[in-house]
Structure 1
Amino acid sequence: MTEHHVATVWRSHPELLVLNAVRLGGFAETAAAAERADLDADTTEGVLLDLGRVRLVERTDFADATGWILTDAGRDRLTALLAEERGDSGAEPTLTDAADRFEELNASSPC
């Protein structure tokens, strides 16, 4: 009998996606955060407003743009969400193995 393996597609929670999109940009307008998070603009705006209410992000002006930045609490929340997702998704062992192999290769690299 042939054994079939079905790959599971993991979809991160919008809160994690939006926090990470803001982190990656350092400063992100709503549209840019939506594009980075691969979410629609309305969902992203709603998440940003919710995150702003609990002070995980702040809306600020920079030059001629208005956008979002992470607060210290937002960085902490993102770190916690990423750790939770690594465990829940079952990816932790694979990520740990890849990081260990990278460290071994990096340590043996003649630099």
Structure 2
Amino acid sequence: MVTIKHTRESIAELEKKLDQYKIAHHKLTAGLKEAVAESIQYKRERDELIEDVEKLRIALIKTQNLADELMDVQVKYIDLTQHIKLKAENNPNVSRYINLVLYIDDLEADTHEG
């Protein structure tokens, strides 16, 4: 069996290397902890952004639905006013149609002024 004898200098050198490894290990561990903390923070921010995008998507859908409803109302308004104006043209002696056309004209004038 071979016996290894260390000198004081070799033991001191080994202890110095061990201390260097411990310092390097602590630095790497600290860096890893920092990286993990950053990763967790980035994940939280990503999750918040995903939630914000989903909220915006829902708001966009609601806005589109409102725009579609507004378009439907506008089309119905145009159809109704054209129908009333046609009735007034075909029935010039009926005052209710004439009054409705005048009312429509007032509404549209107010809309264009405001």
- TM-score class, shorter-chain normalisation, is under 0.3
TM-score normalised by L of structure 1 = 0.27
Query: Per residue, is there more helix in 1 or in 2?
Result: 2
TM-score normalised by L of structure 2 = 0.26
Query: Per residue, is there more strand in 1 or in 2?
Result: 1
With a CA cutoff of 8 Å and minimum separation of 6, indicate the structure with the bigger relative contact order.
1
